[in-house]
Amino acid sequence: MALGLAMPLLIATSAAAQPAKTVRISQAFQSLLYLPLYVAKDAGFFDEEGVNVTIATGGGGSQSWSAVIGGSADYSIQDPVFPTVSREKGGPGVVVGSICNAETMYALAKNPQIARTTEAKDLLTKGYKIATQPQPDSGWARMSQLSNELKVEQGAKTFTNLQVPIGSEMAAVFAGQADIGLSYPPVVEQAEAKGLHIVYSFTSASRPYLFSSLNTTRDFIAKNPAAHQAVMNAFERASQYIYAYPEEAVKIGLRQFPDLDPKIVRKAIERMVADLSYPEHVYADHAAYIANQKQHAFVGTIKKAATPDEGIDNGAALAAYRKFGRIAWTGARPLKAAAK
Radius of gyration of the chain (CA): 20
Res. 23: pLDDT tops 70: yes
Name the domain boundary from 189, 204, 219: 204
- Residues 125-153 pLDDT 10s: 999 999 998 887 778 888 999 999 999 99
- Residues 244-263 pLDDT 10s: 999 999 999 999 999 999 99
Higher-pLDDT residue of 1, 293: 293
Answer yes or no: do 215 and 300 share one domain.
Answer: yes
DSSP at 304: S
At 166, is the pLDDT very low, low, confident or very high (cuts 50, 70, 90)? Answer: confident
Res. 169: pLDDT tops 60: yes
Name the domain boundary from 159, 180, 204: 204
Helix runs in 159-224, H state only? 169-174, 187-193, 202-206, 218-223
Segment 15-29 shows an average pLDDT of 81
Task: Establish if 86 belongs to a structural domain.
Answer: yes
Segment 70-83 shows an average pLDDT of 96
Answer yes or no: do 49 and 166 share one domain.
Answer: no
Domain of residue 272: give its range.
9-102+208-328
Answer yes or no: do 195 and 226 share one domain.
Answer: no
Answer yes or no: do 94 and 240 share one domain.
Answer: yes
Segment 224-237 shows an average pLDDT of 98
Cβ(234)–Cβ(40) below 8 Å? yes
CA separation, residue 199 to residues 4, 139, 142, 202 (Å): 36, 15, 16, 10
At 6, is the pLDDT very low, low, confident or very high (cuts 50, 70, 90)? Answer: very low
Answer yes or no: do 245 and 97 share one domain.
Answer: yes
Residue 61's nearest CA partner among 84, 79, 73 is 79
Residue 113 CB contacts under 8 Å (≥ 6 apart), including other chains: none
> What per-residue confidence (pLDDT) applies to 9?
43
| Candidate from 5-9, 34-38, 170-174, 253-257 with smallest mean pLDDT | 5-9
CA 281 to CA 296: how far, in whole Å?
24
Mean pLDDT of all residues belonging to the chain: 92
- Residues 91-136 pLDDT 10s: 999 999 999 999 999 999 999 999 999 999 999 999 999 999 888 7
Task: Establish if 338 belongs to a structural domain.
Answer: no
Cβ(289)–Cβ(95) below 8 Å? yes
Query: Structural domain tally of the chain?
Result: 2
At 227, is the pLDDT very low, low, confident or very high (cuts 50, 70, 90)? Answer: very high
> What per-residue confidence (pLDDT) applies to 340?
54
CA separation, residue 331 to residues 44, 241, 248, 266 (Å): 14, 10, 11, 21
Answer yes or no: do 194 and 98 share one domain.
Answer: no
> What per-residue confidence (pLDDT) applies to 111?
98
> What per-residue confidence (pLDDT) applies to 136?
72
Segment 199-217 shows an average pLDDT of 92
Cβ(285)–Cβ(101) below 8 Å? yes
Task: Establish if 230 belongs to a structural domain.
Answer: yes
Res. 302: pLDDT tops 50: yes
pTM greater than 0.85 (yes/no): yes
Task: Establish if 4 belongs to a structural domain.
Answer: no
Answer yes or no: do 252 and 301 share one domain.
Answer: yes
Segment 58-86 shows an average pLDDT of 95
Answer yes or no: do 198 and 212 share one domain.
Answer: no
Which CATH number do you get for residue 249? Answer: 3.40.190.10
Provide the sign of the torsion angle of the four alpha carbons 330, 246, 280, 283, taken in this order. Answer: negative
Task: Establish if 227 belongs to a structural domain.
Answer: yes
